[in-house]
Amino acid sequence: MDVRDAVEADAERMAELTGSPADVMRNLVHDRTVRIAEAGEETRGFVSFDAQRETVHVTQLEGTHDACERLLEEPVRFAEREGMAVELLVAEDDDLRAVAHEAGFTEHGEGPRFEGTRTVRYRLDA
């Protein structure tokens, strides 16, 4: 699986993966660091993240289990180089919780609710 920087042309597929409007995904490509996972010609997922103070915040992680495992390595690698921690919010009933655990993240309590959905805060310290 190959990982590359996202470009504006990826917004349509990102929108399909998230159920969000393409314009929102286009803005995400401009406002955050976004990486795309591909297998052959097919986009399998994406991750977006940004750094604030001493923490890299994963703002979105979407795709297949394998793609998400690979994509989560991107913000972790960045954080390791910069001596920062990484935080990730996952819906309480989302399969991404397993991906977070497999990547070495630990639960750090409840996160905020999004549209009534409870989230769990995960953290990986530097």
Boundaries of every domain in the chain: 2-124
Q: Give the model confidence (pLDDT) of 22-47 as tens digits.
A: 999 999 999 999 999 999 999 999 99
Give pLDDT, residue 36.
98
Give pLDDT, residue 22.
97
Per the listing, tokens 């953290």 go with 123
Q: How far is CA 69 from CA 9, 47, 56, 95, 103, in A?
A: 23, 10, 17, 11, 7
Band (12; pLDDT cuts 50, 70, 90) = very high
Residue 5 pLDDT > 80: yes
3.10.20.30, 3.40.50.2000, 1.10.3720.10, 3.40.630.30: CATH of 2-124: 3.40.630.30
Nearest to 78 by CA among 108, 47, 102: 47
Q: Mean per-residue pLDDT for 41-68?
A: 96
Q: To 5 degrees, how large is the angle CA 46–CA 15–CA 80?
A: 20
